[in-house]
């Protein structure tokens, strides 16, 4: 009696208990389908990297003696939908049962759960054996509290999983959080570590994808794609990160530089999100580096917090808030994305770099995503849903469970402050402090109004003026409102006029 086991494209975890032994009665099903390539317009590298990793995973399973049915994008029998293919394969194999691992995306979870209800054979959902927390763990932890805070959840997870704790259960180094030590501008030294990832030639696969007329944007870099293809490459990347970048990860975590795209970030999000790598492995490797004196505590704590804290926390927000979350728009922002989101062709150097790099590499690091692109979207009043679609399409690591709360919650404050305590809004002063972008820009970072003034400045102050009613009572914004109130009325009016003119013609910036 055959059992079909479905493996989704972001479930490439060879350590899952499903693969501990081979069973001739189990057929593992993997599929490349238009339903998944087309639900949003994706960056070419994202489609390529996922298909390449899926193919590699299927080949490894086969080599270990597992039965695998791989439905390629151009297979004549491919019905191009998850349940369409599953229905056909149940008949083909005379399957007596179906199993699947818990999807991370609400959309797929619903599709599979609804489909399973109508099946005449048993269908079971297994754990994906990846995360530290269960889907509903954050919701249970915060209960009915109106405001959730990452820091509280993170500390509880540090205690529960005994990460960076001393024998008394207290945080090592006497502090839970080393953020204050981690906000330095990068002076150009130490040098950015070399990119350790091997380049793969996926030109043939790219031709197949194109022949199947899959729509995409961005540079495919098909003949030299650098995203890890399998777990062995992901482990190599982790090791290289720990050795060469982690020691400086903390200090320059918020820094940006026109000549250094990655700085000391890990580039591990793709490998983590498709589950080649387990989050515990990444956190444990960093902690081991601190214990053996190879990395300082603020860097290691900062890295552990991104994964054990933020990654698990945003997932908890996602599962607690979907499906309504994706429509939230607390600040009623509605402007469409300017045209330069699709080519990076803007005179604003910070955005030209962050967006241009995203289109070339399918990657930008956190501060570029949050404090340049997201910040502009927030203060200019772009539609959070349009931004969500852009972020979900453009980044190599973008899967809705992690992208949506980051975009709508952290970056756009569209959930009204559930996920984060204040909007991440910044003027040119912030960007100038943390990067070298302003030096090569046609706009003046110190001016608020006038044709050459940096657009971030007028938009920043106007954002706080426009949303005074909602934001002024927030104690974390008291200083901003005090500064705003010291500006003469004439200057506030000039700022409002400049902001309105910018918003009316964003394409021209």
**Contact between 67 and 28 (Cβ < 8 Å):** yes
Q: Given strand 97-101, what is the order of strands in its sheet?
A: 67-71, 26-31, 3-6, 97-101, 123-126
Nearest in space to 456 (alpha carbons), one of 429, 433, 422, 419: 429
Contact set for ligand SF4, span 450-509 (CB under 6 A) = 454, 456
Give the whole-angstrom CA distance, residue 428 versus residue 445.
5
Q: Hey, is 171 helix, strand or coil?
A: strand
Answer for which of 273, 346, 375, 427 binds ligand FAD (CB under 6 A) is 273
Answer for which of 3, 101, 269, 385 binds ligand FAD (CB under 6 A) is 269
Q: Quick one: what does residue 257 bind among ligand FAD, ligand SF4, none, with the CB cut-off 5 to 8 Å set by partner type?
A: none
Those residues whose C-beta lies under 8 Å from the C-beta of residue 95, and which sit 6 or more positions away, are 2, 3, 4, 27, 89, 121
Does 461 help bind ligand FAD (rule: CB under 6 A)? Answer: no
Answer for which of 171, 220, 374, 381 binds ligand FAD (CB under 6 A) is 374
CA dihedral 421, 425, 427, 430 (to 10 degrees): 60
Give the whole-angstrom CA distance, residue 40 versus residue 52.
19
Question: What backbone torsions phi and psi does residue 165 show, to the nearest 5 degrees?
Answer: -115, 150
User: How many alpha carbons fall within 13 Å on the CB side of residue 497?
Assistant: 9
Contact set for ligand FAD, span 342-371 (CB under 6 A) = 365-366, 369-370
Answer for which of 50, 86, 98, 314 binds ligand FAD (CB under 6 A) is 314
Q: Token digits for 172?
A: 């090592």
- DSSP of 92-117, one letter per residue? HHT-SEEEEEPPSSHHHHHHHHHHHH
**Contact between 277 and 271 (Cβ < 8 Å):** yes
Q: Quick one: what does residue 346 bind among ligand SF4, ligand FAD, none, with the CB cut-off 5 to 8 Å set by partner type?
A: none
CB closer to ligand SF4 out of 112 and 459: 459
CB closer to ligand SF4 out of 96 and 439: 439
Does 45 help bind ligand FAD (rule: CB under 6 A)? Answer: no
CB closer to ligand FAD out of 52 and 398: 398
Q: Quick one: what does residue 164 bind among ligand SF4, ligand FAD, none, with the CB cut-off 5 to 8 Å set by partner type?
A: none
Contact set for ligand FAD, span 80-99 (CB under 6 A) = none
Answer for which of 2, 306, 349, 385 binds ligand FAD (CB under 6 A) is 306
Answer for which of 29, 214, 268, 283 binds ligand FAD (CB under 6 A) is 268
Candidates 128-136, 184-192, 302-310, 438-446 — which segment interacts with ligand SF4 by CB under 6 A? 438-446
Whole-angstrom CA distances from 304 to 173, 301, 401 are: 14, 5, 19
**Contact between 460 and 379 (Cβ < 8 Å):** yes
CA dihedral 276, 359, 266, 171 (to 10 degrees): -100
Does 449 help bind ligand SF4 (rule: CB under 6 A)? Answer: no
Does 502 help bind ligand FAD (rule: CB under 6 A)? Answer: no
Answer for which of 2, 221, 383, 411 binds ligand FAD (CB under 6 A) is 411
Does 410 help bind ligand FAD (rule: CB under 6 A)? Answer: yes
Does 228 help bind ligand FAD (rule: CB under 6 A)? Answer: no
Q: Quick one: what does residue 406 bind among ligand FAD, ligand SF4, none, with the CB cut-off 5 to 8 Å set by partner type?
A: ligand FAD
Q: Quick one: what does residue 272 bind among ligand FAD, ligand SF4, none, with the CB cut-off 5 to 8 Å set by partner type?
A: ligand FAD
Answer for which of 246, 348, 477, 506 binds ligand SF4 (CB under 6 A) is 348
**Contact between 193 and 244 (Cβ < 8 Å):** yes
**Contact between 454 and 443 (Cβ < 8 Å):** yes
Peptide bond before 458: cis, by omega within 30 degrees of 0? no
Does 350 help bind ligand SF4 (rule: CB under 6 A)? Answer: yes
Does 388 help bind ligand FAD (rule: CB under 6 A)? Answer: no
Q: Token digits for 21?
A: 């032994």
Candidates 91-99, 300-308, 317-325, 430-438 — which segment interacts with ligand SF4 by CB under 6 A? 430-438
The residue count of the chain comes to: 509
Question: What backbone torsions phi and psi does residue 297 show, to the nearest 5 degrees?
Answer: -60, -45
Q: Quick one: what does residue 438 bind among ligand SF4, ligand FAD, none, with the CB cut-off 5 to 8 Å set by partner type?
A: ligand SF4
Does 311 help bind ligand FAD (rule: CB under 6 A)? Answer: yes
**Secondary structure of the chain: what % helix, strand, coil (to 5)?**
50, 5, 40
Answer for which of 142, 303, 437, 461 binds ligand SF4 (CB under 6 A) is 437
Does 246 help bind ligand FAD (rule: CB under 6 A)? Answer: no
Answer for which of 86, 431, 484, 502 binds ligand SF4 (CB under 6 A) is 431
Q: What is the CA radius of gyration of the chain?
A: 24
Four-residue CA torsion sign, 50, 2, 122, 131:
negative
Long-range contacts of 502-508 (CB under 8 A, 24+ apart): 502/380, 502/455, 502/458, 502/459, 503/335, 503/380, 503/381, 503/459, 506/335, 506/338, 506/380, 507/338, 507/339, 507/340
Candidates 38-46, 178-186, 193-201, 269-277 — which segment interacts with ligand FAD by CB under 6 A? 269-277
Which residues of the chain form contacts with ligand SF4 (CB under 6 A)?
348-350, 428, 431-432, 437-438, 441, 443, 445, 454, 456
| Residues at the contact surface with ligand FAD, assessed by CB under 6 A | 265-269, 272-273, 306-307, 310-311, 314, 365-366, 369-370, 374, 391, 395, 397-398, 402-403, 406-407, 410-411
């Amino acid at each position: 009696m055959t059992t079909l086991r479905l493996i989704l494209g972001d479930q490439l975890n060879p350590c899952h208990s499903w693969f501990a032994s081979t069973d001739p009665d189990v057929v593992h099903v993997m599929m490349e389908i238009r339903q998944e390539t087309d639900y949003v317009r994706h960056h070419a590298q994202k489609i390529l990297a996922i298909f390449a990793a899926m193919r590699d995973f299927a080949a490894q399973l086969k080599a270990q003696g597992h039965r695998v049915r791989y439905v390629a994008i151009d297979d004549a029998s491919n019905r191009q939908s998850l349940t369409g293919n599953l229905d056909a394969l149940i008949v083909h194999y005379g399957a007596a049962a179906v199993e699947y691992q818990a999807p991370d995306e609400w959309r797929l979870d619903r599709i599979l759960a609804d489909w399973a209800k109508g099946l005449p054979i048993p269908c079971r959902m297994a754990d994906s054996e990846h995360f530290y927390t269960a889907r509903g763990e954050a919701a249970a932890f915060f209960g009915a509290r109106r405001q959730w805070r990452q820091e509280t959840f993170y500390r509880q997870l540090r205690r529960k999983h005994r990460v960076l704790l001393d024998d008394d259960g207290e945080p090592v180094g006497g502090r839970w959080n080393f953020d204050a030590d981690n906000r330095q501008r990068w002076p150009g030294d130490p040098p950015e570590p070399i990119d350790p990832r091997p380049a793969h030639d996926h030109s043939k696969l790219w031709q197949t994808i194109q022949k199947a007329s899959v729509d995409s944007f961005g540079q495919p870099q098909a003949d030299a794609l650098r995203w890890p293809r399998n777990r062995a490459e992901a482990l190599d990347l982790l090791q290289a990160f720990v050795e060469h970048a982690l020691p400086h990860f903390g200090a320059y975590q918020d820094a940006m530089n026109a000549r250094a795209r990655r700085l000391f970030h890990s580039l591990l999000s793709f490998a983590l999100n498709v589950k080649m790598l387990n989050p515990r492995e990444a956190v444990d490797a960093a902690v081991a580096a601190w214990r053996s004196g190879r990395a300082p505590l603020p860097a290691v704590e900062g890295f552990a917090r991104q994964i054990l804290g933020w990654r698990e926390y945003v997932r908890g927000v996602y599962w607690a808030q979907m499906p309504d979350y994706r429509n939230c728009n607390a600040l009623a922002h509605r402007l469409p994305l300017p045209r330069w989101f699709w080519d990076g062709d803007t005179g604003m150097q910070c955005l030209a770099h962050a967006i241009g790099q995203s289109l070339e590499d399918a990657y930008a690091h956190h501060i570029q995503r949050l404090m340049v692109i997201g910040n502009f979207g927030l203060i200019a009043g772009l539609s959070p849903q349009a931004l969500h679609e852009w972020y979900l399409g453009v980044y190599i690591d973008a899967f809705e469970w992690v992208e949506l709360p980051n975009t709508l919650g952290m970056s756009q404050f569209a959930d009204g402050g559930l996920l984060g305590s204040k909007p991440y809004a910044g003027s040119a002063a912030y960007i100038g402090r943390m990067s070298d972008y302003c030096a090569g820009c046609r706009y003046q970072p110190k001016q608020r109004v006038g044709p050459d003034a940096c657009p971030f400045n007028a938009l920043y102050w106007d954002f706080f003026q426009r949303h005074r009613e909602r934001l002024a009572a927030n104690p974390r914004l008291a200083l901003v409102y005090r500064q705003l109130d010291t500006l003469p009325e004439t200057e506030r009016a000039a700022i409002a006029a400049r902001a309105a003119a910018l918003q009316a013609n964003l394409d021209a910036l």
